[in-house]
Amino acid sequence: MTDIASSPARLPGWLSALRNILAYLLRSPTSAFGLAVIAVLVLTAALAPWIATHDPFAQNLDNVLQPPGSGHLFGTDELGRDIFSRLVYGARITLRIIFLVSVVVGPIGLIVGATAGYVGGWMDAVLMRVTDIFLAFPSLILSLAFVAALGPSLGNAIIAIALTSWPPIARLARAETMTFRKADYIAAARLQGASPLRIILKSIIPMCLPSVVIRLTLNMATVILTAAGLGFLGLGAQPPEPEWGAMIATGRRYMIDSWWLVACPGVAILCVSLAFNLLGDGLRDALDPRQMNRR
């Protein structure tokens, strides 16, 4: 009886928090736009085979560099492939990149930051020094170096971006941990005999989560731009993959006469990265009014 009563009571609590956040976000037109674009992106990626009007890899050399309209919504590229369908399938690549990077970067940053902040002492000094070294490079330059060493491919680009984007998360998690390391509830947990590992996992990391989630969302815009930059330089996804940055790179040669080859993927990148920036901005206000003007 109690089991039945308590489990539905807990779920709506969590769900209603999410609903509150969503309601808050939808009230501001900018974050509503961000949410809408991301929803469209996810749906497009999920339903790509049904949305795409053509096979994204099918070449048609009789029908190259067609302007938008005339059976091809965004025209065709230098090999006669339908640009709209390529963009639709490219959404899958974009989502894959941000999902994989976030899944790797979030936990690493949280654990490094929370450990450094909670344990302190030499552990803090060593971990933060390592973080500083990675922070000493702009993310694109360090990713460039890693991809150059690993060899150009989409997988290596994802690894390189992940390797370069955990330090800001770790910094943030450490700063958050420092603020409540001395809190009474942590002391209570310690007095009850909880191990440092348990305290970090159960008491500290959940407290860091909101700000880390905001930071991850804001990071996604950077991740998308870095991935597109790597693709543009030929170090990310390789042809014939319909990655948006790589599409811009190949379209560059035909740009003067066929602007749509470059314009369409660029607008897609711009929309998605703008959406994540707007959403992150909105989340910052929704989850933590205290920090509204900070970071």
Our finding on whether 221 is near other proteins (CB under 8 A) is: yes
- List the one residue from 74, 84, 89, 146 that touches other proteins (CB under 8 A): 146
Buried b (16+ CB within 10 A) or exposed e, 191-217: eeebeeeebbeebbbebbebbbebbbb
User: How many angstroms separate the CA atoms of 41 and 44, rounded?
Assistant: 5
| Residues 70 and 262: beta-carbon distance below 8 Å | no
Our finding on whether 232 is near other proteins (CB under 8 A) is: yes
Q: Which is nearer to other proteins, 15 or 148 (CB)?
A: 148
Our finding on whether 149 is near other proteins (CB under 8 A) is: yes
Buried b (16+ CB within 10 A) or exposed e, 174-183: bebbeebbee
For residue 262, the minimal CB distance to other proteins (Å) is: 6
Q: Which is nearer to other proteins, 177 or 277 (CB)?
A: 277
- List the one residue from 76, 102, 139, 211 that touches other proteins (CB under 8 A): 139
Task: Kindly write down the DSSP assignment for every residue of 213-274, as one continuous string.
Answer: HHHHHHHHHHHHHHHHHHHHTTSSSPTTS--HHHHHHHHGGGTTT-THHHHHHHHHHHHHHH
- List the one residue from 162, 278, 283, 286 that touches other proteins (CB under 8 A): 278
**Prior bond of 239 cis (ω within 30°):** no
- List the one residue from 186, 235, 283, 286 that touches other proteins (CB under 8 A): 235
Our finding on whether 177 is near other proteins (CB under 8 A) is: no
95: its two tokens: 């989502």
- List the one residue from 114, 127, 228, 283 that touches other proteins (CB under 8 A): 228
Residues in the chain: 295
Our finding on whether 290 is near other proteins (CB under 8 A) is: no
Q: Which is nearer to other proteins, 199 or 236 (CB)?
A: 236
Our finding on whether 263 is near other proteins (CB under 8 A) is: yes
User: How many angstroms separate the CA atoms of 51 and 46, rounded?
Assistant: 9
Q: Which stretch binds other proteins (CB under 8 A): 53-61, 82-90, 102-110, 232-240?
A: 232-240
Our finding on whether 42 is near other proteins (CB under 8 A) is: no
Our finding on whether 74 is near other proteins (CB under 8 A) is: no
Contacts 24+ apart (CB under 8 A), 189-197: 196/118, 196/119
Our finding on whether 121 is near other proteins (CB under 8 A) is: no
239: its two tokens: 């042809």
Residues that bind other proteins (CB under 8 A): 30, 129-130, 132-134, 136-142, 144-146, 148-151, 221, 225, 228-229, 232-235, 245, 248, 252, 255-256, 259, 262-263, 265-266, 269-270, 273-274, 277-278, 281, 293-294
